[in-house]
Amino acid sequence: MPKNSNISNPVIRRLPRYYRFLGELAKQGISKISSRELSEKMKLTASQIRQDLNCFGGFGQQGYGYNVAELRCEIGKILGVDKGRKAILIGAGNLGTALAMHINFEKSGCKLVGIFDSNKSIENNPLGDLTITDISKLEEFCKKHNPEIAVLCIPKSATKDIVDRLIALNIRCFWNFSHYDINIDYGNIIVENVHLGDSLLTLSYGVNNLLSEE
């Protein structure tokens, strides 16, 4: 990796959004864009865009701007969209099912290779291109296929145990939709928590403030 380390979190969290907007521009047939134009579309400052991109290298050309396709490609590389890392989904309830169907894992550098659930009554049911496997076969499967990422759509109460099992199986990256915060003291762990309940509460706060300050 080039000068990747020490990139601040706010910058990293903006990268997917840049990537998304650049994809949209490319689809519209726009081949070049300046930081100013992009800043207007994305509602942020041109300065920030230039600053962000320069964490990773000079992708633009002075006096001209950025080549949309090229910049998108570079950000894609930074995000690792071409890596195709193996991911497994734990929990095939409503949310797990929705993710399996709705998320384009390939576009995000992942490949869903297994789906597990503890509910025996749905074992072997098809879900997307895969079939649901009983959670008891987790160890066997992982030792064979060595997935790197686990998507957790399980109840809070089950999460800690599952995380322990997954870490023992050398999985250290988690996309966590469970109601449980994985900020435990395992070293070298990458967690992306998605707490939908927290998100809705944040909206609720906003609703209250908008509707009462008038």
Residue among 23, 26, 34, 165 that touches DNA (CB under 7 A): 34
**Residue 185 vs residues 171, 177, 188, 190: alpha-carbon distances, Å:** 15, 19, 9, 12
Do β-strands 190-193 and 66-67 pair in parallel, antiparallel, or remain unpaired?
Answer: unpaired
The binder of 62, among its own copies, DNA, none, by C-beta within 5 to 8 A per type, is DNA
Residue among 45, 143, 181, 186 that touches its own copies (CB under 8 A): 181
Three-state secondary-structure class, residue 5? coil
Amino acid sitting at position 104: N
The binder of 124, among DNA, its own copies, none, by C-beta within 5 to 8 A per type, is none
Shortest CB 59 distance to DNA, Å: 5
Instruction: Compose the 40-79 pattern: x for residues touching DNA by CB under 7 A, - for all others.
Output: ----xxxxx-xx-xx---xxxxxxxxx-------------
Residue among 107, 137, 144, 145 that touches its own copies (CB under 8 A): 107
Q: Closer to its own copies at the Cβ: 41 or 137?
A: 41
Residue among 1, 58, 64, 121 that touches its own copies (CB under 8 A): 1
Q: How far apart are CA 111 and CA 83, in angstroms?
A: 9
Which DSSP string corresponds to 124-147? T-EETTEEEEEGGGHHHHHHHH--
Three-state secondary-structure class, residue 113? strand
**Restricting to residues 65-104, which ones interact with its own copies according to CB under 8 A?**
78-81, 83, 85, 93-95, 97-99, 101-104
* Helix 9-27 and helix 68-79, axial crossing angle in degrees, nearest 10: 140
Residues that bind DNA (CB under 7 A): 8-11, 33-37, 44-48, 50-51, 53-54, 58-66
